[in-house]
Amino acid sequence: MTLQQLSLALGRSTSEIYRMLEVLVDQGYVLRETGLHRLSLKLFNLGVGQVPARDLLTVSLPVMEEVAQLSRQALHLSVHVDRRLVVVASIPSPEPLGFSVRLGSHFPFRADRTSARVITAFQPAGLRDRLLDEMVELARPTRVSRQTLAGRLDRLRERGFEEVPSDTVQGIVDIAYPIFDGQHAGAIASLNMPYLTQRDARMSRAAAQQLLAKAVRRISQELGGVAPK
């Protein structure tokens, strides 16, 4: 939003809003680009250190390390924040060669992101519909059909996980499962293994998928959550 738009929305003078914005921009809470303002991820970064995000990371990281060592594959944990898919934990492959997603990376919450589909598929109906609308909107101008995407999410939920060739990186197969806790009705995160076939990583994709399935059940149970029926 512009300064004038913020002033109108808040019912305050532009001089008042300008002073506030200058402080927020200076402190890194708001980003200014060509006269427009948007929230940064600074509040999110602060929130990661608090409950329940802290509990999610405390429980997930040791399990992710264990799975990475056994499978020789990388893993990353993603959450939905303000129309973005944000990577809050990332474990690289123990192999000299591998593919991983950097900690702190964030992407539009779009239909071509495996973790976005997983998080959306495992939500109560009302929230699922809102996130579905968000994914369709952010997918423009590719014009993803809402009906087609809804059907894909229904099949994903019935299967319990996603396992598809990556939409963004050739040669990678994304395997992703939802994580649940005891406080929310839907998935709070998606644990993703970007499986890369290579000579020295000997665990098969099927075995890696089963290992990941056990890992997310363990994480969810420790957080007090269970997958919906």
Residue range 145-200, pLDDT digits in tens: 889 999 999 999 999 999 999 988 889 999 999 999 988 889 999 999 999 998 87
Structure tokens at 75: 């893993």
Residue 63 has pLDDT above 90, yes or no: yes
CA–CA dist 43, 181 (Å, integer) = 22
Count CB-CB contacts under 10 A for residue 70.
14
DSSP-derived secondary structure letter, 17? H
Phi, psi of 214 (to 5 degrees): -65, -35
Residue 39 has pLDDT above 80, yes or no: yes
DSSP-derived secondary structure letter, 92? -
What angle do helix axes 114-121 and 125-139 make, rounded to 10 degrees? 150
What angle do helix axes 146-159 and 114-121 make, rounded to 10 degrees? 80
Confidence of residue 54 (pLDDT cuts 50, 70, 90): low
Model-level pTM greater than 0.85? no
Short-list 134, 131, 135, 121, CA closest to 179: 121
Domains of the chain: 3-40 (no CATH), 48-222 (3.30.450.40)
| Residue 182 amino acid letter | G
Q: What is the mean pLDDT of residues 25-50?
A: 80
